[in-house]
C-alpha cells in the first residue's frame, strides 16, 4: 500500500472545525457595537473564511458602506466576543476524529497552519478537546508573512519537525491552495468548507467530500 505523507498540515476554520456559527455571532456583536443591523444566519454563514476584518467588512456592506476605519473599530469588539464564545456552536466536521486517529496511529506528524490569531487557534483546539493532537499550531501572527505566503506553511512544517518533500496540506479555500502551490506541497481540498468559489476551482490535487476519504486521498498524492 502507498505510504502516507510523514507530515499532514491542516487549515483550521472550515477544514477541521465548522466555526461559522461562532464567527458570525462575533461579527453580529461587532455590527451591533458599530450601530449597524445584524446579518441573518443564513446569509452570514457564506461570509466566513477570510479572517475577522473581511468578515466585519462584509457584514457592514450588507447595510451600507464599510470604510477601513469602521472595520478597524469593530475588530476589538469582534475579537473580545469571539474569545469568550469560541466554541459555543462550533462543531468538528464528521469523520475528522477518526481520520486524525488513523493518521496518528500511522505515525504521521499533524500540524495546523491557520490565519486565525494563534492564541485563538490554541483556544479553539483546547475547547474541542484536541490538546496534544497537533505537534505545531501556527497562526497568522506566528510568522512575519501569513498565508498565502508559503513561508507560513514552511514554518509550520519546520515546527512540526517535518520536511516539505514528505508533507501534504489539507484546506478549504483558495488561500490554502495558493499557499500549498507556492510551497510545492500537494494539497487536498474539502468540499464543505468556507470557500468563496466552487471547490473545483481551487486547483487542489484531490477534493474530498467527507473525512472518510482523507487517507485514500493522501495516499493517492504519494503515487
Same domain, 59 and 166: no
pLDDT tens digits, 24-43: 999 999 999 999 999 987 78
Domain termination residue (choose one: 61, 84, 107): 84
Task: Tell me the average pLDDT across 193-205.
Answer: 92
Q: Residue 66 pLDDT more than 80?
A: yes
Same domain, 127 and 47: no
What is the tally of structural domains in the chain?
Answer: 2
Task: Tell me the average pLDDT across 180-184.
Answer: 98
Same domain, 124 and 14: yes
**Which residues are known catalytic residues?**
11
Identify the pLDDT of residue 223: 58
* Domain housing 138: 7-19+90-221
Percent of the chain with pLDDT over 70: 98
Domain termination residue (choose one: 84, 113, 134): 84
Distance CA 167, CA 157 (A): 8
Q: Residue 59 to residues 63, 86, 114, 214: CA-CA distances in angstroms?
A: 8, 19, 22, 33
pTM of the model: 0.93
Same domain, 198 and 138: yes
Domain termination residue (choose one: 54, 84, 114): 84
Task: Tell me the average pLDDT across 59-85.
Answer: 94
- Buried b / exposed e along 33-63 (16+ C-beta atoms within 10 A): ebebebbeeeebbebbbbbbeebbbbbbebe
Amino acid at each position: 500500500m502507498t505510504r502516507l505523507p510523514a507530515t499532514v498540515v491542516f487549515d483550521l476554520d472550515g477544514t477541521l472545525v465548522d466555526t461559522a456559527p461562532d464567527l458570525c455571532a462575533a461579527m453580529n456583536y461587532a455590527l451591533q457595537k458599530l450601530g449597524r443591523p445584524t446579518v441573518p444566519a443564513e446569509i452570514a454563514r457564506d461570509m466566513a473564511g477570510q479572517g475577522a476584518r473581511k468578515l466585519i467588512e462584509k457584514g457592514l456592506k450588507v447595510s451600507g458602506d464599510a470604510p477601513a476605519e469602521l472595520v478597524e473599530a469593530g475588530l476589538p469588539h469582534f475579537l473580545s466576543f469571539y474569545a469568550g464564545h469560541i466554541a459555543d456552536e462550533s462543531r468538528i466536521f464528521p469523520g475528522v476524529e477518526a481520520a486524525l486517529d488513523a493518521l496518528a496511529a500511522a505515525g504521521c506528524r499533524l500540524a495546523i497552519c491557520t490565519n486565525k490569531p494563534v492564541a485563538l487557534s490554541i483556544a479553539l483546539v483546547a475547547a474541542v478537546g484536541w490538546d496534544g493532537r497537533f505537534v505545531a499550531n501556527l497562526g497568522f501572527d506566528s510568522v512575519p508573512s501569513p498565508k498565502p505566503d508559503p513561508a507560513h506553511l514552511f514554518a509550520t512544517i519546520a515546527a512540526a519537525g517535518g520536511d516539505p518533500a514528505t508533507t501534504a496540506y489539507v484546506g478549504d479555500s483558495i488561500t490554502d491552495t495558493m499557499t500549498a502551490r507556492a510551497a510545492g506541497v500537494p494539497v487536498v481540498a474539502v468540499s464543505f468548507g468556507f470557500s468563496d468559489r466552487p471547490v473545483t476551482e481551487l486547483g487542489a490535487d484531490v477534493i474530498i467530500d467527507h473525512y472518510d476519504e482523507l487517507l485514500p486521498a493522501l495516499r493517492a498524492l504519494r503515487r
